[in-house]
Structure 1
Amino acid sequence: MKNKHLTCLAGIVLAAATGLSVAAPSSSAAVAGGHVVRPGESIQKAVDAARPGDTIVVLPGTYRESVLITKPGLTLLGTGSRTVIRPGAATGNVCATAGNGICVLGASGKPVDDVSIRSLTVSGFKKNGVWSSWTDRLTVRKVTSTNNGTWGIGQERSTRGEFLHNTARENGDAGIFLANTVDAEAGATDTLGAEIRDNTLTGNRIGVTARRVRNLTVQDNLMTGNCSGVFVVGDESRPRAGAMTIQDNRIIANNKFCPANPRLSAIQGTGIVLTGSEDTTVRSNLIRNNVGSTPLSGGIVLVKSFVGAPNTGNSITDNVVEDNQPADLADRDTGTGNTFVRNQCGTSEPAGMC
């Protein structure tokens, strides 16, 4: 979009966010290459009218609908906590039917490229707050996703996603969830450098779940009050999950209790768990006061995957891991090539790793 278009839209959003009077156009009206949606109007109608590359500005208000995006290059831009999307009628587009708030959906061989979702709140959906499948370079920035039934922000079958400066709290499963696929068995997806950075993840089952994916970074996030901070899930499939970096996160007091389910034991007091991962780097994280008594409890924990696949070749280095129970570092696996070096910790399983 041309600079003058961005300037015009930025002015509208700034005026709305600061309470200044602005003569916004009527429903879904085009404004210098963009669209403005006001309370009582339909976000979906604006999305349907937009062309690739357009921006949809959603003014302060509560919008009761689900939003489906299938066009490349669109930006959905709210005004932070004042733009709220909540469930409406569970009919209409496939996003609403599935119980999701905002969906970005492509297809096999035809990913949706360069969509951006920014500065809004998605809350109370039966399934996921923000969900995407078959996308490339999706950006989710400064989104608050709360009290959704499964994932706060989730993605599958996608590459080069960026999840930056978001808040995900009190969601039924993970605050942020990246996976190869959720409806079939397959080897790990190479995300081509997906990034989960500077997010605040609280009160979820798990802060970040990376399930059967490779080549991504989880960095500079705050995770507290979840059952577990980070959960890396792999198995015996090829390619293996892993080849990721988890660094510079603050993972503190994730002591919520989550009961067992058919695939996992109960979770409580868990900082970072690696299951069936290979060649993952865990470094320079602050992991404190994660306390529990489940098989997954501890500061940094390595365990076999659900199907018994071991962790191999992972590096746990330069972390501050303190006051976690039953141990700061726990290698409860039989995999090979996993190294624990220069970590500041008090207790380990087996002894001698601190």
Structure 2
Amino acid sequence: MLSVILSVTLVVLGTTASATHGESIHVENGQSIQAAIDSAPPGSCIIVGPGTYEEQLTISKSGIALRGNGVILKPPTTPTSNICSGLAGNDTEAGICVSGSDIVLADFVQEHRKVLSVGSYVEGVSITGFEIHGFTGLNIALVGAKDSMVYRNTLYDGGPYGFLTVGSLNTHAAGNTVMTTDAILFIGMCMDDVSPAEYRDNYVSGYLIAFCLQTEGSVVTGNTATNNCVGAFLDPGIKDITFTHNHISSINPGCPLSSPEFATGGIIVFGASDAKITGNVVENQKNKGTGFGLILSDSPPDSLASGNLIEHNIFRNNDIDIGIFTNATDNIFKQNECSTPAELCSA
């Protein structure tokens, strides 16, 4: 047994050592970040100095750590085509595109193109310290990436997405600010991965949907969503989302009124199942009488909102705290602080 423990320890230490012995490459204002990425060996740390850079970045080497300090990234005059081009529709581009190799994408139908297959994943990429403005598709996109960490970035006016991870494995996004400065845009942060992702301690404001949750088994915790139309949207057929200790407040005054086609509110479980929605605060969901704290709704024809646990949440100062539009009978409500409907708001 001891030999097994030592073997595992040496493997872990060896992996850590190799990761930390990559080169450090410095980029100063006026130089090209992409040129530094292109010349860097896998495992390098690229440190970008303060300034405004009009570039569109592609990272396809494993272990790249991209570090910014006072860095503003804006779209170049002429975009450069990569796997993220057209990912969110025709003529859309990403500010930073992290991508594996030999990726096959489905045709664009709505929202974003789906990943059909990945030849090999780009692994262990991290991005921090960037302020990214106004790319037409996505400010940051991960496509066919594994073990990525995107943290402490500020993403402005990414339309239709601030951040998207799709066809990826074990994505972590933490401490990011994703917001609009004028019009309501589509989705702040979205996950459509093939293994669970984690969104932790992010702040999203000014979007139609703050958090789009399309990845089974994912964890979304400690986040704040304010001034959006929908705080979190759990997609049809998605199972086992853990949505806990998040704070959702204030519907954007520019949002449409709730209707059978689109509802405004804090948390919308639309044909998703077995979610754990616990310890959240959802407040001030007011939209001329049509704002909901939480909605459970089936997605025709065959996705029931079933088996969901709604426990220890606070719903307050909403037009309607909880709306039930499902035929499922196995959702559990326990110890939620709310007013309407009274039968679901018991201690």
What stretches of structure 1 move > 6 A for 4+ residues in a row? none
Residues 1-354 of structure 1 aligned to structure 2 (within 5 Å): 33-79=23-69, 82-94=70-82, 95=84, 98-106=92-100, 107=103, 108-170=118-180, 172-180=185-193, 189=194, 191-192=195-196, 194-211=197-214, 213-234=215-236, 240-259=237-256, 265-268=261-264, 270-292=265-287, 297-305=291-299, 309-325=303-319, 327-348=320-341, 351-354=342-345
Cα separation, partners in 2 of 1:271 and 1:154, compared to 1, 3 Å = same
SS of the equivalent of 1:246 reads: strand
Cα separation, partners in 2 of 1:43 and 1:267, compared to 1, 3 Å = farther
CA contact (8 A) 2:157 2:179 kept: yes
> 1:71, CA displacement in angstroms?
0.7
State percent identity of aligned pairs: 29
CA distance in structure 2 between the aligned counterparts of 1:88 and 1:264, rounded to whole angstroms: 41
CA contact (8 A) 1:267 1:294 kept: no
CA distance in structure 2 between the aligned counterparts of 1:255 and 1:267, rounded to whole angstroms: 13
> 1:258, CA displacement in angstroms?
3.5
In structure 1, stretches of 5+ residues that fail to align are 8-31, 181-188, 235-239
Of residues 121-130 and 93-102 in structure 1, the stretch that sits farther from structure 2 once superposed is 93-102
CA-to-aligned-CA distance 1:254-283 (integer Å, 9 cap, x gap)? 3344349xx983443x11000111110000
> 1:305, CA displacement in angstroms?
2.3
CA contact (8 A) 2:56 2:79 kept: no
User: Structure 1: which amino acid aligns with 2:149?
Assistant: T
> 1:89, CA displacement in angstroms?
2.8
CA-to-aligned-CA distance 1:131-158 (integer Å, 9 cap, x gap)? 1111111100001111121111111111
> 1:233, CA displacement in angstroms?
0.9
SS of the equivalent of 1:345 reads: coil
Using structure 1 for the length normalisation, give the TM-score.
0.80
CA contact (8 A) 1:101 1:130 kept: yes
> 1:307, CA displacement in angstroms?
5.0
Count matched residues.
Answer: 306
SS of the equivalent of 1:225 reads: strand
User: Structure 1: which amino acid aligns with 2:267?
Assistant: I
CA contact (8 A) 2:191 2:213 kept: yes
SS of the equivalent of 2:26 reads: strand
> 1:61, CA displacement in angstroms?
0.4
CA-to-aligned-CA distance 1:68-95 (integer Å, 9 cap, x gap)? 011111011001xx20100003333415
CA distance in structure 1 between the aligned counterparts of 2:74 and 2:143, rounded to whole angstroms: 21
Using structure 2 for the length normalisation, give the TM-score.
0.82
CA distance in structure 1 between the aligned counterparts of 2:255 and 2:266, rounded to whole angstroms: 14
SS of the equivalent of 2:138 reads: coil
CA contact (8 A) 1:205 1:226 kept: yes
Cα separation, partners in 2 of 1:309 and 1:73, compared to 1, 3 Å = same
CA contact (8 A) 2:253 2:287 kept: no
CA contact (8 A) 1:129 1:153 kept: yes
User: Structure 1: which amino acid aligns with 2:40?
Assistant: A
Cα separation, partners in 2 of 1:308 and 1:254, compared to 1, 3 Å = farther
In structure 2, stretches of 5+ residues that fail to align are 1-14, 86-90, 104-117
C-alpha RMSD of the superposition: 2.5
